[in-house]
Amino acid sequence: MLKNYLKIAWKVLGRNKFFTFVSLFGISFTLAVLLIVATMMDDLLNPKYPEKKGRRTLVVNEVTMRDKDRTSMSRSGASFHFLDHYVKQLKTPELVAINSNGNTATAFVGDKKLALDLRYTCENYWKVFDFEFLEGKPFGRTELDNNAHVAVISEDTRDQYFGLDTEALGKTIILNGISYQVIGVVKNVPFFRGSTAADLYLPYSTVPWDYRRTGFLGGFEGSVLAHSRSDFSALKAEFNDMVSRIDVPEDEYLQLLEVEAKTLLEHISSEVTASDKNSVGLFLGVLIGGMFLFMLLPAVNLINLNTSRIMERASEIGVRKAFGATSSNLTIQFLVENILLTLIGGAVGLGLAFIVIQFLNQSGWIPHAQFRVNFVVFLVGLLFCLIFGLLSGVLPARRMSKMKIVNAIKGGES
């Protein structure tokens, strides 16, 4: 039966090349755009290099202080003091990593200037995140204690500073006029990885300012690794309890301390929606709603096209009905046809998306991004195809199947 439907569908597609082209163009373009968005979202929201343990990591990267009347507030990253003194003392986590955020360093090669993004990190940073070392190894407790001027640099920094594929291990790099010895080279990290993207990683003991001062606001963030995802509620409870027991010194103007340990998704949602509240639902809602809206126009277009083509098939419908085909038989047949069409369009769309993503990866427009069309994205794409096929097929199919036999055989209006 299905084989028959597919055969008919194939013949119909070949009958009028222009209409098939219009349908396929709309479908494949729409699905290509959706697939590209899905690939990017997958890369952003699912654990990827080097944040492979992202599923069981919480981030502490935003501290808000308010005065008693809640009229003034100040918000920034956390202070080293807060992370080192309070967060690190928590019992539930497996590990706590501390790193700075938003620092830069300048280096010069000949008459060229390199502006490098820099993170000051602790030794646990290299255990919480799974960096791939092309050369050497990370720094540890010894380097931090000895105030050693050592640096872990990215592949890209190595290529720009020392020359393409030159070994950098043991060599000296001059940053802001200070010499550091390279002890490791890591694979590049895409710029949108919140806790790990940088050109350069230095031990926090070499921070030039007074990073150990007390207070809660500062330029650092913490990554808290739990033993498993199921520990999150216990971990958050312990964290909130710890925060509630902190006494802000009486003489401070900003007395109220607000800080949360967030999952990656919670963090990205609040960034995107610029909201203080738990905004995961809003973020996902807007994302899915936006994709649905984007599908709507091409779907309506396809509905109109399909509906106006009923007449082409009127005699076929009439004959099938006369020989006893029920409405639901016909509805299913037309739906199968439409879904076949969307699947073909989807395949073309997948190809288009693949080409665009390869191009994005190679052009370097999005620094160090390596998007992959993976199995999850493929499944999402398949889902989109089915939704699109149903969305654009149900209405015309129902209209076709309801056509009166007499009218249909005559080939006239319904």
Partner 1 sequence: MIKHLFKLIWNQKRKNAGLLFELFFSFLVLFAVLTFIIYNLARYQEPLGFNYENVWQLDLSWNTLTGEEQFAAQELFQEHLKNYPEIEKFSFANRNTPYGNSMHINSANYGEKRASPHTFVVDEDFQSLYEIEVTEGSWFNRADMAAAIRPVVINEILKDELFGDEPALGKEFQAMGEDYARVVGVYQNYKYEGEFSEATAQMFLSPLEDHVFSTILLRLKPGTGANFEEKLLKDISQLVKGVTASVDYVDDNRKNKLLAVWLPMVIFLVISSFLIFNVALGLFGVLWQNINIRKAEIGVRRAVGATQTNIGWQFIGEVVVLSTLAVVLGTFFAIQFPLLGVFGLPVWVYLAAIVAAILVIYLLVALCAFFPSRQAAQLHPAIALHEE
Binding residues (CB under 8 A) for partner 1: these are: 18-19, 22, 25-26, 29-30, 33, 104-106, 108, 111-113, 115, 176-177, 208-210, 296-298, 300-305, 307-309, 311-312, 399
As measured in angstroms, the least distance from the Cβ of 33 to partner 1 is 7
CB of 275 to partner 1, least distance (A): 18
Rounded to a whole number of angstroms, the minimum distance from the CB of residue 307 to partner 1 is: 6
Nearer to partner 1, 34 or 350 (CB): 34
Q: How far is the CB of 274 from partner 1 (least distance, A)?
A: 15
Residue closer to partner 1 by CB (options 309, 404) is: 309
Order across the sheet with 256-259: list the strands.
Answer: 73-76, 63-66, 256-259
Bridge partners for 107 per DSSP: 114
Q: 29 or 378, CB closer to partner 1? A: 29
> Distance between CA atoms of 383 and 297, rounded to whole angstroms?
18
Cross-strand bridge partners of residue 262? 59
Q: Per the structure block, which two tokens stand in for 375?
A: 């199995």
Q: How far is the CB of 117 from partner 1 (least distance, A)?
A: 12
Please identify, using beta-carbon distances, which residue of 105 and 408 lies nearer to partner 1. Answer: 105
Q: Which letter, b or e, does each residue of 135-161 get, where b requires 16 or more Cβ atoms within 10 Å of its Cβ?
A: bbebbeeebbeeebbbbbbbbbbbbbb
Beta carbon nearer to partner 1, 104 or 328: 104
Do residues 225 and 93 lie in contact, with contact meaning Cβ atoms separated by under 8 Å? Answer: yes
Q: Are 373 and 359 in contact (CB under 8 A)?
A: no
Amino acid identity, position 249: P
Sequence-separated (6 or more) residues with CB below 8 Å from residue 58: 223, 224, 226, 232, 235, 236, 239, 261, 262, 263
Nearer to partner 1, 46 or 76 (CB): 76
* Min CB(350)–partner 1 separation in Å: 17
